[in-house]
Structure 1
Amino acid sequence: MGENSPKKTLNEFKESKNILKEFIEFSSKSESIIDMGSHVIIPKHIFESLKESQEYYEALFELSPTYTVLLGLDGTIKNFNKKTELFAGMPREKLIGIPFTELDFVPKAGMNAHIERISKLANGKPVEPFESRIAERNGKIHWIEVHSTLLKKGSAPPEILVSCNDITERKKTENALKESEEKFRQIAENMGEVFWVIDPKTGEVIYVSPVYQWVWGRTCQSLYENHKSWIEAIHPEDRDRTVEMIWNGFDNIDEAKEGFEYRVIRPDGKIIWVWMQSFLIMDESGEISRIVGVASEITGYKKAEEEIKALLDELKRSNEELQQFAYVTSHDLQEPLRTIASFTQLMARRYKGKLDDDADEFMDYIVDASVRMKQMIMDLLEYSRVGTKQEMFRAIHIESELNDVLVNLNDLIERSRAEITHDPLPVVFGDESQLLLLFQNLITNAIKFRKENEPPKIHISVACDHEKNEYVFSISDNGIGIEEQYFGRIFTIFQRLHTRDEYPGTGIGLSVAKRIVERHGGRIWVESTFGEGSVFYFSIPVGES
């Protein structure tokens, strides 16, 4: 059989087809194509068919979207595709035939990895894909995933196919993800609360921060091994409610955001209080993909809360007893005081002028003191009634209330020639009798402390503070004013800034006003310039009106 016998030709063709098959299989993995460079003597129709196949995979090699290079076993560049040529920025004629180690777009720092793998392939050893970097002429770095394999072509020397996928964008995403994960880890591990992530489908704890060990008294590893161990540690009286709160939250995003409290029993038997809040993470399809949340140890807060509640309860009880004592005492004192005053006045009428002058003076002192004492007791009763004689709050039209006050004070207004004006006034929610007394005391106060030769001018206005949800009333006058150092003192019971001869009264009116305002959830204060007048302010919550 001659050198070019049909049998030999057919064998060579089969060998070429095997090389083509190996090339196509590798290309499907690395998306790379090479020129096999085979020369086979075959019949014309077989040659034409093989030529078409050769042209086909040469086209695939040239148009491959990866950087594709064909090397000799010594690392000499045999061929590369258009994408590699464009990246190199040089015509292929200048690069073919040179060692690949002279390519300036392969950083020297990563060259050893390429040399090592070329050497392994040349010795018939397979290599795994690896990541490396290449650089554009402007210095911009590209990350690549390098695939390489040894191609055998019958009697021709083997060649090495190198195919590189550009993974720059993937690396950016991976690095961004790593940075994000690192930030998350640092935040989660350094925050004072337990941060946790649960798979809603399996109940598996995907992540829990190290603070869990301090709060629950159990290791994080024990939770990963037994995902229900954190629930098993909840106090039996709170367990069902806690589980229900969490799992009900799976069906309603808003409910999942509600915080709640429960008790945890640590391994040493100590019971602690925990506050937990959770929320849902949804995937692109709108399904719940994760449940995340935080848990804080609040035992100290709960203890303080209980102590404050106990103190408030005790204070409330004490205040109620004090109010009742003041009311009863004041009421009971009036009877003996009336007796003293009555008999002293009777003695004054019967024996005045019959005794010496000192006796007459002494009886006048007793009568005057009895009258003042009676007035103070009546004022004390009025003060105590603010806390004991309360009416249910209801909608009160302040403008109508003010008209009633002006009717009550009509004689005082006329005698003092007071001019009282007001802006439109709102409806508030409160105790009608107490609000009437509040305005009456403040207007009476403004009339009383007027200038000697100037009729009082009083104006009542109101503004709504929407941020605090309250009305702020103001009662301004042109009276004698108050020095700033006394702004706080004037609201103290029985405190006076003037003598009784100058301005009569016991000094309880502003104390009652303060107590009424505070009972309505507001505050009262004064702004004044001595000698020019004062403005008394008080706030009343907008409330249900």
Structure 2
Amino acid sequence: MDETIKNDKLRRKAEKAVQNELDKIDNEKCAGIVHELRVHQVELNMQNDELREAQIKLEDSRRKYFELYNFAPLGYYTLDRKGLILDVNLTGAELLGFERKNLQKIAFIKFIASDYRQIFHHHIKKVLETETKQTTELKQIKKNNDYFYAHLETLPVFDENGSFIEFRIAVTDINTIKKAADDLKKSEKRYLEFFNNPLLGFALCEIITDNNDQPIDFIYLDVNYAFEKLTGLKKADVLNKRVSSILPYEEIADIIEIYGNVALSGESTNFEYSIPSLNRHSEIFAFSPRKSQFIAFFTDISKKKQMEDLAKKRNDELANINAMLNVEIGDHEKAEIKLERIIDKLEVSNQELEQFAYVSSHDLREPLRMITSFLQLLEKRYKGHLDDDADEFIGFAVEGAKRMDAMINDLLEYSRVGNQEMNFNFINCEKILDMVLINLKTLIEGSDAIITHDPLPNIYANEQLMIQLFQNMISNSIKYRSEKIRPEIHISVEKKDKEHIFSLKDNGIGMSSKHLDRIFTLFQRLHTRDEYEGTGIGLSISQKIVHLHGGKIWAESEPEKGTTFFFTIPIKIDSLAK
């Protein structure tokens, strides 16, 4: 109350003083003063508004700076000249695994790995000497003794007199980048090991065309060590040279056309090719990395080709022997002697062939296993890191190696049939079939196949080989089933003269009669690998088993009407068996 009375007295005194002054001023001058006061009042109000707006902007700027400083993706540290932490943002504290308040006045070097501290000392010294921003990379230690690789940018701060105030350090976690760089180095090392593997040849080439854009030659741009080893050609002798200047044109005309189609169309291909002057037969996979260029990966399959040629030669010899046996010879005794000699030669020849097939296939498996391993390693390491074409090409190479491995395994299986000691006994075919159906249960249920049979006889045979025979025949019928109807297979037998004639009839896709002679030939296929899997050796093994039992095998078929396979087993009686 006293304060109010005091203020009222002061106001009345001020008003009286003002009135006395106004009494001395005429009305015109008074009006001018009032106008000036009003203008000044408006100016003061405007200045107050500007000050309030500036204050709001300043507060907003401070808030933004605070958020930018504390929530930046980098760690910010302020150090004094002794290296003690004066301030740190939230990210910097989080990098070290501490609360901000627990880092005050702590030596920054405490969080640097011991083997990197000397680097940090040199870094700080250089900042002071140059008075400019400097960068370095080192390993920092976290609270839990874990570590991360960091990129440091350090800036010295000076006052207006040039005196040092503090260090400001921006820290970036480059752990991910560092790990990626290390992984890349390791991957490059593995890739070079694969690239320089002595079992897989590589050649990068460019196609040369004529005025009509037809391929007429190609130039070697790069080759690997395996190329030299597998071809006998030196890298220095082929680089930047036309293949026509290196090899006879008549030997390479076809392969120029094949490579030309790959380089110009972009379509990859897989094929076999022989070059007599190099005494090499190769399996080749080619693709185009860019227009007018192609890359060829190849392996030497000369041993495999020699084995196939030897098999064909032996088959021709066998055909000639069979023809000779059909010739009527007047002198029965001479015919028997000659026949025995031919049979002896044939047995020796077949043993040599089987031994050669087994040894060659066995020798081929080890280098193939290494090729497959490196191809799978390349696929695992680089799949998804290269473009789609590269992933596809690597997939083709892996698939080709797997197919070759399957062929070698089948060849080994073929060579083993009849190679071991065989025990012949009287066996029940229905029991054999029951075991086969158990073995093929998953395949039969998966295809929803129906297997039926007539009463089956006892026969004199090798049990394991007969299981394999029925298993191969039934599997073959299920594989080549029709997609339109449910697969049905019926097994029957007829006794005729001195043999049992077995028949296995299916309702599958069938085939043209002109192919019936080919289906029992080793590695012969009537369909592409994309349509049906396998190497085409199953029926060859079946034929060999039937022949080992002294029987014959053949087939009757029509397209879309199914196929019936027949085979015979001679009838034996107890006295003959003994």
TM-score computed with the length of structure 1 as normaliser? 0.45
